[in-house]
Chains A and B, each alone.
Chain A
Amino acid sequence: EPEVTQTPSHQVTQMGQEVILRCVPISNHLYFYWYRQILGQKVEFLVSFYNNEISEKSEIFDDQFSVERPDGSNFTLKIRSTKLEDSAMYFCASSELVQEETQYFGPGTRLLVL
């Protein structure tokens, strides 16, 4: 069964460093998403992406964040200058269409900022 994959599974970085989290969505899906979950808190929406551009973003997704689809399979989330409060589990998701469609989640990348 097709699934969303994410790399790396864990990343430790120093405050102020740039990190890139990678995702491979399900191949025939058109909509891609990033969510994050700070330990003990709700899963929160960051951004959605369609047709090579951002279609929606939350207040969390500020200028420090960017997304890109560099090729036909990968979808990346970049954090330019990490802060301590960026430590969280980051989930990538994809869906075939946007509304009334199941979003399929990857296993997540656990980011720890020291």
Chain B
Amino acid sequence: KQEVTQIPAALSVPEGENLVLNCSFTDSAIYNLQWFRQDPGKGLTSLLLIQSSQREQTSGRLNASLDKSSGRSTLYIAASQPGDSATYLCAVQTGANNLFFGTGTRLTVIP
């Protein structure tokens, strides 16, 4: 069964810093990997989707990479802002329809 792990569980950084969030998964037979943002008590906002054939995707200050063979993905956030404070979830889609989620990294950006 696919297991998704995210490290660190929590991260605090001062405003303006660049940061990296990590995601690892046990089964490399994935269709895609998706990064989400979750604000407290709210739903999931899709940030980036990387197809299995791709190595990275960029959207604004966010850059996600995928190394399928080693079962790893990173989410790079440049020039962090207080509004970036949230929990970041990664999820992989396997041969079935469903997404397997990690437990998330809770990010706090300190003004």
Contact = CB atoms under 8 A, between A and B. Distances in A.
Interface in B75-111: 89, 91, 93, 96-104
Interface stretch (A14-22, A69-77, A78-86, A95-103): A95-103
Interface string B23-55: 000000001101010000111111001011000
Given A43-B91, A99-B31, A100-B31, A31 B46 contact: no
Contact of A98 (B43, B52, B97, B100): B97
B43 A56 contact: no
Given A99-B31, A99-B93, A105-B36, A58 B44 contact: no
A108 interface: yes
A50 B97 CA distance: 10
Contact of A43 (B31, B41, B89, B96): B89
Given A99-B93, A102-B34, A45 B100 contact: yes
Interface residues of A, number: 27
A110 B46 CA distance: 20
Interface majority SS (helix, strand, loop, mixed), chain A: strand
A48 interface: yes
A102 B93 CA distance: 10
A103 B99 contact: yes
Contacts, number: 60
B31 A55 contact: no
User: Which of A35, A42, A106 has the most chain B CB atoms inside 10 A of its CB?
Assistant: A42
Given A91-B44, A102-B34, A44 B96 contact: no
13 contacts: A31-B97, A35-B99, A41-B103, A42-B102, A42-B103, A43-B44, A50-B97, A56-B98, A100-B31, A100-B93, A104-B46, A106-B43, A107-B42
Interface of A: 31, 33, 35, 41-45, 48, 50, 55-56, 58, 91, 93, 98-108, 110
